[in-house]
Structure 1
Amino acid sequence: MKYVAHIRKKDGEPQLVKDHLLEVKALSEEAGAKIGVKYLAGLAGVLHDVGKYSDEFQDYLREAVSNPDKPPKRGSVDHSTAGGRVLLEVLNQSVVQKMIAEMVGNVIISHHGGLNDYITPVSLETPYYRRVYEKELQEFERLKQRFFDEVISREELRDYCAKAEAELAAFINKSKEQRSDAASIPRDIDLLTKFLFSCLIDADRTNTRLFEENTEKQAWHSAQFFSESLNKLNYHLSKFEQGAASQQPINILRRQMSQQALEFASRSSGIYQLSIPTGGGKTLASLRYALKHAETYQKERIIYVVPFTTIIEQNAQVIREIVGDEYLLEHHSNVIEDDFTAAEYEAGFQEDRFDLKLAKDNWDAPIILTTMVQYLNVFYSRGTRNVRRLHNLVNATVIFDEVQAVPIKCLSLFNESVNFLKNYGQTSLLLCTATQPALDYVSHGLELPKEPEIIQNLPQVVEAFKRVEIVDKTKKEPWHLDDIVTFSQQLMTAANSLLIVLNTKKAVRAVYKQLVAENKSKAAIYHLSTSMCPKHRKQQLEEMIKLMKDNQRVICVSSQLIEAGVDISFNHVIRSLAGLDSIAQAAGRCNRHGSESIREVYVINVSHALENTDKLPEIQRGAAITGKLLRSLASGTADLLSPNVMMRYFQEYYSTFRTDSAYYVKCLETNLFDLLGANTFLLSSLKQQKGLDYPLFLSSSMKTIGQYFKVIDNQTTSVFVPYNEEARNIIGRLNGDPELSELTQLLKQAQQYSVNLYNQEIDQLSQKSLLLPLYRGHGYYLADSAYDKTYGVNLEGSSQMGTLIFE
């Protein structure tokens, strides 16, 4: 009898269980080998679908073929528990063997719904133990024998497990050498488990997708690409050096720092800092480092991670103009959220969700640009979609652009992920910002080398780059709407451009409306906020830059999204009081190229009625510390942006939130960080409350971490917007019946036209019937009247945009 794993929808062609297991094993091995765990990853691959050898599963497939109009729901037959049970029988002697059985067993049984807890907080249940040790598997002996007969014999499996055992022993020894704190070793093992999970998920999804598409995996040659791209970048820089502006002092400084970054790239992989002042050519210098380092050490990819509050289009455009578009991937967000829980999977799911699960979404490209939200989700969010990208973070160069934007509650988890990649992933990690945070100062800090900084003589460099002066206007009574508008008009009497950066979208909109209503300066006035899709924001920025190049008058009112990754320069900046890092970033949009004498950045204290930050504690606390620094430096505020003052700011800022950096969850009465690793407090509770000894070696709560982990406190949903004709075309194609390969491309294109909305905004739009179903109801897009050509999302549905195309 032929035992079948999948049946292709197009032509009814079967994929045999044997072929699927061996092919997934090979792909898992390939991913695992990158950090020396080839056989641990391969074990998960070869055993993950052993349960498909059961008669129950084969009957389920036959029914799907015979009843195509009403097939049984995918996932309704448990075919993953059996693989975990096989491991228990083979690996039951030494401690290391039993740990492998638990690690890889959890990976196998969880590959459709996200990693299980070993022990769950509050209830003190042991889901992995119940599933693998206690669940009844009526056909276990029969399916196990079929597996040994067709795929791998018992003896071969034991030999293979011995190699996996040697890998884990080596990993544990390395962890003991690398980590000074013994409590770090169990956390390393948990992140290794997550890595193995990534290897299996991506191998399984990739193999199934290739079978469905009847294609082969496409390979790209990273070494050749990085070498050619470095030559292109060097040529681009040499052309610039021949230009008329090449001998300007600021451009000479930029070249010097770019050269330092290039030379530093010969250093072995580690965690380093690139503290180039704003306007110092950080994007190109970091790209030069990354390409040279990738070429020298045979890295597979370069990944830029930018703040979730900013945009990545301009960084992408700079890189695209040099290396081309073919091998560059922008990943803003998941336009359609398709992940589902284990319970949902076991209950069965619709066929189209299967297509979403298979769509290529694994960061398999030479250059990736993504957000901090997406990076952190790879390690800690629930489900299977995000984690499949994790193995592509190893043997890479990862550049954290504006790293100071990591949310306080996520700092310990962020640091743990970076330390893991450095210690075991052969990954080089670059903390790239003008305002370097003290991430080694917080609890569970980064493991920085003794000399992490690339730029030499940093204080002198900062002074040489000085192009602005911070003017403290906070001593005045709180500024109201009329005060800001009047002051803006006064500044514009002697300037051509002005940027106003405020802390809330509500304040941004109010100031913009008032400026438009009065507009005594006769300037072009622009609004920017995260209510606008990336394509819309990009167009607005391009229009402003063009007008300013033509000496036209421009005022831009923006939320803080403009403070990072945006190459634009204004004569003056008004910044609402915030953290010193935010003020420094806003200052980077003023006199950016040093073409004028020293210009002013005005810091104001906006009234509570106009700008309510009560629900933004990090902004409030940052503003308070900055205010104190302004008072202490009143006799010389120009020093406010010096490295020493910035370090003082971050040390006090992190001290304030020191107990908040491990992601405390009130209903669990513990930190998510503490649910990694040994979890000793839960084991003690199990003994005290239930009188039970814990039966396993591993004890983390990965499922619970995923359940509660959110980089942004208020949950958001990505919604597609009908911004232009291309966007409308994508909507039409997604609401058609796209092939799997087309679906992958459409989801990639759709990110340029998506906006993340809070739950209350989703509810408000739903009540007014302004949210329409996208891709068979698995996503949303906005009605035309809910998107405005000025503000973006219009919750009232009163936009006059209609069918207007404004691109």
Structure 2
Amino acid sequence: MDAGEVAPRDSDDGECPLWAHSRANGSDRRHLLEDHLRSVAWWSWQFAEPFSAEQVAYWLGLTHDFGKAAEVWQRRLLEVEGTDERVRTDHRAVGTRFLVEQLGFDAFALPVYGHHGGLDHPGAMENFLDFPPLEAVHEEQALRRLRARLPELDAPSAVTWPPYASDLLDGELLTRMLFSALVDADHLDTQVHFGKRREHVAAQVAMTHLLDRFEAGRKAKLEGKTSSPVDPLRGEVYDACVAAAPLKPGFFKLAAPTGLGKTISSAGFALHHAVAHELRRVIVAVPFISITEQNARVYRGLLRSTPRDSVVLEHHSSVALEGPGSRWQRLAAENWDAPFIVTTTVQLLHSLHDRRPWAMRKLHRLARSVIVLDEIQALPVHLLIPILAMLRQLVEHFGVTVVLASATQPEFWDLPPLREVETAEILPDPADVQRRLRAIRPMRYRWEVSPRRSLKQVATMVAAEPARQVLTVVNTVDHARTVYDLLNQERPGAVQHLSTRMCPAHRRDVLADVETTLKRKPAEPLYLVSTQLIEAGVDLDFPVVYRAMSPAESILQAAGRANREGLRPEGGLVVIFDPVEQAMPSSYGLPVAETRRHFGPTKQPEPDNLGTLADYFHGYYAVLPDEAMGAELLAARTSWDFPTVARDFRMIDEDTVPVVVRYHNPHSSDPPDPIDDWLQQLRRDPARGHVWLRRLQPYTISLPKNQLAKPSVAALLRSVIGDLHEWTGDYDLSTGIVIPAKEENT
């Protein structure tokens, strides 16, 4: 008889032990089922208490593994013990049906139904609840056994639901949070049994203690810093953040101009606000990994965090969770069990719209937290409606405070999810701060848009700038390479290049070299050509910035790299040019047209004029239909279609393939990383793929998939695993991966 057809035995008196998990490695101790169920129920209760759903979570935890009590599952567990085989006998049905029929959970039973595979549409669960006769026999046996061990099942008490559960959209987010609490509790208790953790949760550092550390760290940083004319205004911004911290939780705007210390000030607000309102953690999310790494270093210094403590957790795709303290970091990254998180906007928002257990396990940690969204102008327009709706729900029902930080504040309050939502302005008068900054840090804007200039003409203009240190920002990687080559002909040896054709390690080396030259060799010629990746969070200070025509917020972000410290009496110069060789991301079409309507040499010449900038955003959003901002995704959430939401919520273009390149800084005395060894290990041991992928990430670029259709490119790619490839062609130490010339313009 097959294991799936084993007839039930009659040992239902509570004496026969029932197991949840097999023996831990090196131990004779199996995991008792009733111990596991009660532990998961208890921790689910604790995790859901901050959003008033503890009773619901308790029953999800208690019932999630009810099916394991059946003889067919118990026998199969012993059969595969000590092997690499899985039990592969479903154990979701019993608990799911109990919740629906005994407690009236309906679709709120989805977390139990999907606690291994992920959240599904309610219709899938309804079909699943129709048992064949043999399975019904096993269900009855499992419940008899469980009632002998769990007396509370005989007369389950009524469950108190949070008041917002009756709303379809709010109920959908509640289900996500309950799923997160259940999955985290289940994994934690299982990890403790198998010796992967000593305890269920990390020891927490009091938020008041973190605030004391932060203030002491900031004071020390200021004492050791070279003074700048901008420093008094930075101090005012920080003071305004501290003054606003006691205000009630909700939405806050931090509209500090570029270069006024939003990184430190926003964290200062978050910590003071968390202490004032007894919130549990601070989460800082930024749009790019490079900024995440930079900010994490700043916060670790201010909070005196070391790799061994449990204070600052940096979580994104490239962080190597290895070395001292790596065990805590790896475990904390699974569920954000730390008081101060630094992550990417993609990591945060994709997790909120995902359906898989490993991606959603951390969500319950967001409740009663402060979320700082930095550089919010970078939020993808095609997803604005679902993103803003999710943020509003977190604020209204999960005790979250959201800080929207940007020098170029979009007018989100025009959009449906945030209409009539109350918000607090951290800076009492952002326009006044902007005016006083202009007096301290003069800025001139020159519009070279009529007539249009060729890239060759632009390169000649840049090379002729008297300042001899110029940043040029263009809209595509091909334009960056073209301008780099043209400038190199006029200023050989003085030109640097940044684009996504370069791997992250290469870009970091270039930025470090550029920063050193700007700070220590102000008279040395330096011409940096970059795509728009330099426009957010990169702390560089050029006397002159050239920017290709782009959306107004991009122009202003680029301008933040001119005379950033206010040390040049003549001020900074920003030149906006409109290249004859038109090329820009497809998403630029509408905002560039709106930029031309509001800004230019015969209109408002200064894109940092906050009034005109607000008019620009009003006009841009007014011409966008709701469908272009993701309204259909919000409809999918309202119908609890978790698979569709997870499939369609994509913040970044996935029409690319990851490609590993071989790069080593020729000026470094350190030996090169063993990229070939890591690739070999990845091919040989894909089960530990996450280890090798993290090590390879600094050497991985994203190549457009349409390049693979080109024979000359495909011939230079060698498959590793999945869609990961290695590049066997040339890699230029100035400009990165070398695409064969005849394929370059695709």
For the aligned pair, the TM-score class normalised by the smaller chain equals 0.7 to 0.9
Contact conserved, 2:66 with 2:92, CA < 8 A, in 1?
Answer: yes
Corresponding residue for 1:469?
A: 444
Contact conserved, 2:313 with 2:340, CA < 8 A, in 1?
Answer: yes
Q: 2:583 aligns with which of 600, 607, 612?
A: 612
Displacement of 1:89 after TM fit? Answer: 2.4
Displacement of 1:433 after TM fit? Answer: 0.4
Q: 1:704 aligns with which of 640, 644, 657?
A: 644
Displacement of 1:709 after TM fit? Answer: 2.1
Displacement of 1:718 after TM fit? Answer: 5.3
Matched AA of 2:300: R
Q: TM-score, normalised by structure 2?
A: 0.85
Corresponding residue for 1:685?
A: none
Alpha-carbon distance in structure 2 between the residues aligned to 1:15 and 1:797: 62
Contact conserved, 1:727 with 1:753, CA < 8 A, in 2?
Answer: no
Question: CA separation of 1:558/1:434 partners in 2, compared to 1, >3 Å: closer, same or farther?
Answer: same
Displacement of 1:6 after TM fit? Answer: 2.3
Corresponding residue for 2:456?
A: 482
Displacement of 1:63 after TM fit? Answer: 2.9
Corresponding residue for 2:634?
A: 673
Worse-matched range after superposition: 318-327 or 80-89: 318-327
Question: CA separation of 1:448/1:595 partners in 2, compared to 1, >3 Å: closer, same or farther?
Answer: farther
Contact conserved, 1:523 with 1:555, CA < 8 A, in 2?
Answer: no
Contact conserved, 1:188 with 1:420, CA < 8 A, in 2?
Answer: yes
The DSSP-based 3-state class of the residue aligned with 1:456 is coil
Identity between Structure 1 and Structure 2 (%): 28
Question: CA separation of 1:423/1:718 partners in 2, compared to 1, >3 Å: closer, same or farther?
Answer: farther
Displacement of 1:12 after TM fit? Answer: 6.3
The DSSP-based 3-state class of the residue aligned with 1:258 is helix
Corresponding position: 1:541 with 2:517:
no
Alpha-carbon distance in structure 2 between the residues aligned to 1:463 and 1:779: 51
Displacement of 1:152 after TM fit? Answer: 4.7
Corresponding residue for 2:326?
A: none
Matched AA of 2:147: F
Corresponding position: 1:583 with 2:565:
no
Corresponding position: 1:110 with 2:110:
no
Displacement of 1:482 after TM fit? Answer: 1.0
Q: 1:436 aligns with which of 405, 409, 412?
A: 409
Q: 2:216 aligns with which of 231, 235, 240?
A: 235
The DSSP-based 3-state class of the residue aligned with 2:529 is strand
Corresponding residue for 2:533?
A: 561
Corresponding residue for 1:600?
A: 573
Matched AA of 1:385: W
1:58-96, Cα deviation, whole Å (9 max, x unpaired): 233233237x3xx54x373221122111112212xxxxx
Corresponding residue for 1:354?
A: none
Contact conserved, 1:85 with 1:133, CA < 8 A, in 2?
Answer: no
Question: CA separation of 1:778/1:149 partners in 2, compared to 1, >3 Å: closer, same or farther?
Answer: farther
Question: CA separation of 1:659/1:554 partners in 2, compared to 1, >3 Å: closer, same or farther?
Answer: same
Contact conserved, 2:658 with 2:725, CA < 8 A, in 1?
Answer: no
Contact conserved, 1:404 with 1:435, CA < 8 A, in 2?
Answer: yes
Alpha-carbon distance in structure 2 between the residues aligned to 1:599 and 1:797: 37
Question: CA separation of 1:75/1:385 partners in 2, compared to 1, >3 Å: closer, same or farther?
Answer: farther
Q: 1:498 aligns with which of 470, 492, 501?
A: 470
CA-based RMSD of the aligned residues comes to 3.2
Alpha-carbon distance in structure 2 between the residues aligned to 1:281 and 1:135: 64
Matched AA of 1:171: Y
Matched AA of 1:673: L
Corresponding residue for 1:350?
A: none
Matched AA of 1:4: W
1:430-452, Cα deviation, whole Å (9 max, x unpaired): 000001111111122266425x1
Q: 2:608 aligns with which of 641, 664, 671?
A: 641
Corresponding residue for 2:3?
A: none
Alpha-carbon distance in structure 2 between the residues aligned to 1:263 and 1:727: 50
Alpha-carbon distance in structure 2 between the residues aligned to 1:316 and 1:309: 10
1:299-336, Cα deviation, whole Å (9 max, x unpaired): 32211111258642222222232223433233333899
Alpha-carbon distance in structure 2 between the residues aligned to 1:578 and 1:529: 17
After superposition, residues 1-400 of structure 1 pair within 5 angstroms as: 1-8=16-23, 10-11=25-26, 13=28, 14-65=30-81, 68=83, 71-72=84-85, 74=86, 76-91=88-103, 98=104, 100-103=105-108, 105-118=109-122, 126-133=123-130, 137-138=135-136, 139-155=138-154, 158-159=156-157, 162=158, 165-168=159-162, 170-172=163-165, 185-217=167-199, 219-220=201-202, 222-224=204-206, 226-239=207-220, 246=227, 248-308=228-288, 311-323=291-303, 324-326=305-307, 327-333=311-317, 361-400=334-373
Displacement of 1:780 after TM fit? Answer: 3.7
Question: CA separation of 1:111/1:762 partners in 2, compared to 1, >3 Å: closer, same or farther?
Answer: farther
Corresponding position: 1:532 with 2:514:
no
**How many residues were matched structurally?**
696
Matched AA of 1:167: W
Matched AA of 1:234: E
Q: 2:542 aligns with which of 559, 567, 570?
A: 570
Alpha-carbon distance in structure 1 between the residues aligned to 2:318 and 2:127: 33
Corresponding residue for 1:512?
A: 484
Alpha-carbon distance in structure 2 between the residues aligned to 1:758 and 1:786: 17
Displacement of 1:528 after TM fit? Answer: 1.6
Displacement of 1:297 after TM fit? Answer: 2.7
The DSSP-based 3-state class of the residue aligned with 1:710 is coil
The DSSP-based 3-state class of the residue aligned with 1:465 is helix
Contact conserved, 2:658 with 2:702, CA < 8 A, in 1?
Answer: yes
Contact conserved, 2:51 with 2:367, CA < 8 A, in 1?
Answer: yes
Q: Which runs of 5+ in 2 are unaligned?
A: 1-15, 321-329, 665-671
Contact conserved, 1:722 with 1:781, CA < 8 A, in 2?
Answer: no
- Asked which structure has the greater RCO (Cα within 8 Å, sep 6+), the reply is 1
1:33-69, Cα deviation, whole Å (9 max, x unpaired): 1211112112221111211222332233233237x3x
Displacement of 1:598 after TM fit? Answer: 2.2
Matched AA of 1:254: R
Contact conserved, 1:522 with 1:553, CA < 8 A, in 2?
Answer: no
Matched AA of 1:387: M
Displacement of 1:238 after TM fit? Answer: 3.4
Alpha-carbon distance in structure 1 between the residues aligned to 2:288 and 2:224: 35
1:583-639, Cα deviation, whole Å (9 max, x unpaired): 11000011111111322111111234xx533xx3321211111112124x626513x
Alpha-carbon distance in structure 2 between the residues aligned to 1:419 and 1:583: 29
The DSSP-based 3-state class of the residue aligned with 1:368 is strand
